[in-house]
């Protein structure tokens, strides 16, 4: 959804009767659609709901889930839940940092990878867990993760050549 396609925003608003109480639901839907919350859409939302833009920003920055920056093509999420933590997720963090040169919350300059951390994915019995574009990989080790990321990088390079 960009400024040229506002009709998708209208669809979402219609589903929630443009009710300001449903702000979080609406933001959720926009993010599902777009991958993040573009400023231009939020401005439009502000006037449609008659809610000040500052209020919208106040609410969305409170919640971990909302993103204001466009994420990369591949999102790597490291679970930092207690079970994952005691079973070695800090070393997985270091591995991603070493390989991609970015900190959690950042995206690589080629827009390929975004690195995130999450409080818990709820797959604790498979700890430590890494999620890559929604797919859960359990019982991870730094070495397995390095292999996996190298494989993804190679596949992406091949894709680009084609």
Answer yes or no whether residue 102 interacts with another protein by CB under 8 A: no
Among 75, 118, 148, 152, binds another protein (CB under 8 A): 118
Answer yes or no whether residue 88 interacts with another protein by CB under 8 A: yes
CB 16 within 8 A of CB 26: yes
Among 7, 47, 54, 62, binds another protein (CB under 8 A): 62
Cβ within 8 Å of residue 152, ≥6 positions away: 74, 132
Answer yes or no whether residue 63 interacts with another protein by CB under 8 A: yes
CB of 83 to another protein, least distance (A): 4
Question: 39-76 burial, b for 16+ CB within 10 Å, e for fewer?
Answer: eebbebbbeebeeeeeebbeebeeeeebbeeeebebbb
Answer yes or no whether residue 27 interacts with another protein by CB under 8 A: yes
Q: Report how many residues bind another protein under the rule CB under 8 A.
A: 49
CB of 85 to another protein, least distance (A): 5
For residue 114, the cross-strand partners are 75, 107
Answer yes or no whether residue 137 interacts with another protein by CB under 8 A: yes
Among 3, 20, 52, 68, binds another protein (CB under 8 A): 20
Q: Is 6 helix (H, G, I), strand (E, B) or coil?
A: coil
Question: For residue 107, what is the DSSP state?
Answer: B
Answer yes or no whether residue 75 interacts with another protein by CB under 8 A: no
Neighbours of 87 (CB within 10 A): 18
Q: Cα(65)–Cα(55) distance, rounded to whole angstroms?
A: 17
CB 16 within 8 A of CB 48: no
Answer yes or no whether residue 105 interacts with another protein by CB under 8 A: no
Residues forming contacts to another protein in the complex (CB under 8 A) are 20-25, 27-28, 58-59, 62-66, 80-88, 91, 94-95, 97-99, 118-127, 129, 135-138, 141-143, 146
């Amino acid at each position: 959804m960009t400024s040229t396609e506002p009709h998708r925003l209208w669809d979402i608003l219609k589903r929630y009767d443009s009710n300001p109480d449903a702000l979080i639901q609406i933001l959720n839907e926009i993010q599902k659609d777009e991958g993040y919350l573009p400023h231009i859409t939020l401005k439009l939302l502000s006037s449609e709901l008659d809610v000040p833009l500052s209020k919208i920003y106040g609410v969305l920055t409170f919640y971990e889930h909302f993103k204001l920056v466009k994420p990369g093509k591949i999102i790597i999420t490291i679970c930092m839940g207690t079970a994952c933590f005691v079973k070695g997720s800090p070393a997985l963090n270091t591995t991603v940092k070493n390989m991609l040169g970015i900190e959690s919350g950042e995206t690589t300059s080629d827009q390929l990878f975004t690195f995130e951390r999450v409080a818990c994915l709820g797959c604790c019995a498979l700890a430590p867990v890494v999620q890559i574009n929604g797919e859960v990989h359990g019982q991870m080790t730094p070495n397995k993760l390095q292999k996996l990321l190298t494989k993804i990088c190679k596949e992406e390079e091949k894709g680009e050549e084609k």
